[in-house]
């Protein structure tokens, strides 16, 4: 189940279509919800450089999403991303700089050159993948290791649709409902919390991981026992 209603989601996707026509690049939007499913923040996402290359080569992925097209020849020096799939996500604590208190902060907006999260948070699950930023703050929690979680787990849901618009253009709509679930992050003790202020979507090929899109939001101290949700929309 998605958190948002179908009506709300359709309105968001319509707005993304208008942005997509103007910006000529993949666009996205997200809403952050607290443990009571109350919306506490919303903003645009940024599809980073690797994500834009991926979309250019192969608009949608192979097994998670049926292929629409792929290029026969790639430009010189361009990595082949056609075998990657949009499959994982992660949370981090580097999306905002806190000054005096949790209520006084400055967002650290993502850039197209980002390759990973600023301060990825480990889930502590050995089967999860590593954020490509290769960060390790030696505190067992802010580390790239085991921080990238499969979308197809827990209460997460996703859907995609190939949509034809009135101007005969075709775009693929993605909607992900992603959770920091109760019991995560496993490296925390009961009752502990960690500041979370960024998240990423990833394309993967076996153990290879590349950042696809990134969001930043006001810092939230998420308790190990609490569940927080994100409704994340991308239009490619």
The token duo for 129 is: 């993948």
- Whether residue 1 lies inside any domain: the answer is no
Q: Is the pLDDT of residue 49 over 90?
A: yes
pLDDT at residue number 76: 59
- The residue whose two tokens read 């989601």 is 9
How open is the CA angle 39-191-229, to the nearest 5 degrees?
20
CA–CA dist 22, 192 (Å, integer)? 44
Mean pLDDT computed over 118-144? 96
Confirm if 50 and 81 have CB atoms less than 8 A apart: yes
Mean pLDDT of 156-176: 83
**Cα 189 to Cα 184: distance, rounded to the nearest angstrom:** 10
The pTM score is 0.90
Cα–Cα dist 82/54, whole Å: 7
Q: How far apart are CA 192 and CA 224, in angstroms?
A: 6
Segment 153-163, tens digit of pLDDT: 999 999 888 78
In a domain, 221, yes or no: yes
Reduce the DSSP state of residue 21 to 3 states and report it.
helix
How does 189-204 read in b/e, with b if 16+ C-beta sit within 10 Å? eeeeebbbbbbbbbbb
Distance CA 89, CA 48 (A): 14
Radius of gyration of the chain (CA): 17
Count of CB atoms situated within 10 Å of the CB of 164: 9
pLDDT at residue 198, as a whole number: 97
- 61 pLDDT more than 80: no
Q: What is the average pLDDT across 35-61?
A: 86
- State the pLDDT at residue 75: 61
Question: Distance of CA 23 to CAs 40, 51, 52, 140, 236, Å?
Answer: 27, 15, 13, 40, 11
Instruction: Tell me the C-alpha distance between 122 and 205, whole Å.
Output: 20
Q: Is 70 exposed, middle or buried (0-12, 13-18, 19+ CB in 10 A)?
A: middle
Please give the structure tokens belonging to residue 36.
Answer: 């009571």
Q: What percent of the chain lies above the pLDDT cut of 90?
A: 68
Q: What's the number of domains the chain is made of?
A: 1
Residue 74 confidence (pLDDT): 61
Instruction: Give me the domain span that covers residue 158.
Output: 6-235
Residue 26 has pLDDT above 60, yes or no: yes
Q: For residues 136, 35, 209 and 234, what is the CA-based torsion angle, rounded to 10 degrees?
A: -140
Q: Among 2-6, 90-94, 163-167, 193-197, which stretch is predicted with the lowest mean pLDDT? A: 163-167
CA-based max dimension of the chain? 54
Residue 176, both tokens: 């992900």
pLDDT score, position 164: 75
Please determine, for residue 68, whether its predicted confidence score (pLDDT) is greater than 60: no
* Confidence at 62, pLDDT banded by 50, 70, 90: very low
């Amino acid at each position: 189940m998605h958190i948002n209603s179908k009506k709300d989601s359709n309105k968001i996707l319509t707005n993304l279509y208008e942005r997509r026509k103007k910006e000529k690049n993949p666009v996205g939007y997200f809403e952050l919800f607290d443990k009571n499913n109350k919306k506490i923040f919303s903003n645009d996402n940024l599809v980073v450089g690797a994500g834009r290359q991926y979309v250019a080569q192969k608009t949608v992925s192979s097994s998670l999403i049926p292929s629409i097209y792929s290029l026969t020849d790639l430009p010189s020096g361009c990595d082949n991303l056609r075998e990657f799939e949009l499959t994982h996500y992660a949370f981090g604590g580097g999306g905002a700089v806190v000054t005096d208190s949790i209520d006084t902060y400055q967002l650290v907006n993502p850039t197209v050159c980002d390759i990973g999260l600023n301060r990825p948070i480990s889930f502590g699950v050995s089967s999860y993948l590593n954020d490509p930023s290769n960060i390790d703050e030696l505190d067992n929690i802010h580390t790239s290791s085991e921080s990238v979680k499969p979308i197809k787990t827990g209460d997460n849901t996703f859907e995609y649709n190939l949509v034809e618009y009135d101007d005969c253009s075709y775009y693929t709509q993605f909607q992900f409902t992603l959770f920091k679930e109760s019991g995560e992050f496993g490296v925390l003790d009961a009752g502990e919390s960690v500041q979370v202020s960024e998240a990423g979507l990833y394309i993967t090929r076996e153990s290879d991981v590349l950042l696809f899109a990134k969001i930043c939001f006001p810092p939230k101290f998420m308790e190990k026992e609490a569940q927080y949700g994100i409704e994340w929309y991308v239009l490619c």
